[in-house]
Structure 1
């Protein structure tokens, strides 16, 4: 099990500087991580360093609350792709989900997936705010909407991923949609536990520590 191939090397802090983003990308190339994950304002900074490497560029959309309009999320995604993003990590509108507006939530995911074409779409359902039944429902909704991944967390909620959350998500989506666990994964032992549950990708700012 080569842990580096599962890692999205992540820096999403509001105070992250250009130099820190470029350092993140150089680290990802050095350690052969699968991807880096940055905020959408940092696409060009990251692409400049990653150009010509095998490291994928994942970009967050509607981050971290997911409560912005569908129009703004869609435009943000389109702009990110135009500037070189390979993958989009969007935040689901959790409030709409809890309002019972599942049709609007699904339509938003479908619209963004359509806007980015064959690029990878991950949908963050922010499990810390959901009941077990809501995690099942949200995971199923992401699958129905045609996204490529369902993702646990932003890392900015009340907690990050949990093994229990991932078990519930895996039971719901099986092999039809991949799972990304993110938030609070800081060591190799924990990373391996998630991978054994069927996680395809791990979002972490502790990637170097994990592989070392």
Structure 2
């Protein structure tokens, strides 16, 4: 698979706590230059980034990030605020305590409410696979499907591990209704990225691939 085809599936990501505006501008520039699907940035930078890039690249941001235990009204407000600032895509984190308590109706309702706010904007649901059993992952595939989200996403990249091949393969078996898969966290080579895509991932959350391509094109 050509690198350019892989990069079209990348959400070029910078979510570090110390991210500066100059760094956000730089990843926007690189995302445009290398044709990624979007840039994924902190909510505090969405308005400025949208003004900076216009329609040249989609702006993705995160909600309830990274722990997921904000209340549902707070997540709904965060989503409304981000969309009002110009976000094109939303990546939300579910409440993992609700998973462990088997409070699955609350998780589904929260996703449903946020998708209602998103309307035709893309909603990706982060379930943080490294903290879940396979049974919980399968159940969440069913919930994300039932709630009408657009994507199920493996990881925040801020917990104990990121995307694995096994988890993406598991998702591919158990999501339905047009729900797509985003693998995120720890994707550090084009070979791994291609394998994730072959296993069923439609999006990749990473910063490394653009850096690798940039270094290859401009080794100096």
What TM-score, normalized by structure 2, do the two folds share?
0.93
Q: Matches of residues 73-92 of structure 1 in structure 2 within 5 Å?
A: 73-92=75-94
Q: Matches of residues 14-163 of structure 1 in structure 2 within 5 Å?
A: 14-53=17-56, 55-163=57-165
How many residue pairs get matched?
Answer: 211
* C-alpha contact (below 8 Å) 2:145/2:176 kept by paired residues: no
Segments of structure 1 that go 5 or more residues without pairing to the other structure are none
* C-alpha contact (below 8 Å) 1:26/1:49 kept by paired residues: no
In structure 1, distance between residues paired with 2:212 and 2:164: 17
In structure 2, distance between residues paired with 1:197 and 1:169: 9
Aligned to 1:178: 180
Q: Secondary structure at the match of 2:17?
A: coil
Matching residue within 10, 13, 25 for 2:16: 13
Mapped pair 1:196 → 2:195: no
In structure 1, distance between residues paired with 2:68 and 2:192: 27
Instruction: Give every structure 1 segment of 4 or more consecutive aligned residues whose post-TM-superposition deviation is greater than 2 Å.
Output: 209-212
What TM-score, normalized by structure 1, do the two folds share?
0.97
* Between 169-178 and 10-19, the greater mean CA deviation after superposition: 169-178
Provide, for residues 144-174 of structure 1, a one-character-per-residue CA deviation record: whole Å limited to 9, x for no partner. 1000000000000100000001111110015
Aligned to 2:6: 3
Q: How many Å apart are 1:48 and its aligned residue?
A: 2.2
Provide, for residues 53-89 of structure 1, a one-character-per-residue CA deviation record: whole Å limited to 9, x for no partner. 1x21111000000000000000000111111100000
Q: Secondary structure at the match of 1:44?
A: helix
Q: Secondary structure at the match of 1:192?
A: helix
